[in-house]
Amino acid sequence: MLKGNKVGLRARHEDDIPVLLTELYDDVVNSSRAEAGPWRPIVPGSKDPRLVVDDKEQGRVAFSVVELGGGTLIGSANLWGIDNHNRGAHIGLGLLPSARGKGYGTDVVSVLCHYGFIVRGLRRLQIETLADNTAMLRSAERNGFVREGVLRSSAWVMGEFLDEVLLGLLVQEWKPGSKD
């Protein structure tokens, strides 16, 4: 397990699936905001990659996020679009509603940076998020990510086009453990 100050990132367990499905992916508004495609219901037993991890898939590593103290499941996190030629990847995460706003997201980004830069030897990590997602923007910036651009009207979300912000962090800029 990868450990931060508050969270652990471990493999997906079977028991995690119903919780993530009900509390995260069945939420139409949150899913529409967090994902690139339209929300669709996930049928029980589905092999949807957000729930069931294919560990042969080289371009994506998915984790379940747990509280370090008690081991309670609090969300999902992943490194995706892993490109071993250009040595970059994207970061994605989603916390259960009850776990938001407590500093966990900032810590998850920190642990994913450690995984990307140290464990995987990558040199650039990237995050795309809606321009009004202050919690995601701050979680990234706290870890040293810089805003590199705005993708104007790039996301169709619940009846309107919204801007997305692209943030990047290079390994030489990264300060492990720093949350400034």
**DSSP assignments along 4-40, one per residue:** -SSEEEEPPPTTHHHHHIIIIIT-HHHHHHHSSS---
Task: Please report how close the Cβ of residue 6 comes to ligand COA at its closest, in angstroms.
Answer: 9
- Contact with ligand COA (CB under 6 A) among 3, 10, 87, 100: 100
- Contact with ligand COA (CB under 6 A) among 101, 149, 176, 177: 101
Label residues 68-97 b or e (16+ Cβ within 10 Å = b).
eeeeebbbbbbbeebeeeeebbbbbbbbbe
Task: Please report how close the Cβ of residue 136 comes to ligand COA at its closest, in angstroms.
Answer: 4
> Considering beta carbons, is residue 121 or 135 the nearer one to ligand COA?
135
- Contact with ligand COA (CB under 6 A) among 11, 22, 49, 102: 102
Which tokens go with 178?
A: 């720093």
Strand partners, 64: 10, 76
Site for ligand COA in 19-78 (CB under 6 A): 30, 34
150 closest CA partner among 125, 138, 167: 167
Query: Which amino acid is it at 161?
Result: F
Contact 9, 65 (CB under 8 A): yes
Q: Does the protein bind ligand COA through residue 91 (CB under 6 A)? A: no
Q: Does the protein bind ligand COA through residue 178 (CB under 6 A)? A: no
Stretch that binds ligand COA, among 63-71, 89-97, 110-118, 154-162 (CB under 6 A): 89-97
- Contact with ligand COA (CB under 6 A) among 7, 62, 89, 95: 95
**Rounded distance, CA 120 to CA 84, Å?**
9
Site for ligand COA in 114-173 (CB under 6 A): 129, 133-136, 138-139, 142
Task: Please report how close the Cβ of residue 56 comes to ligand COA at its closest, in angstroms.
Answer: 26
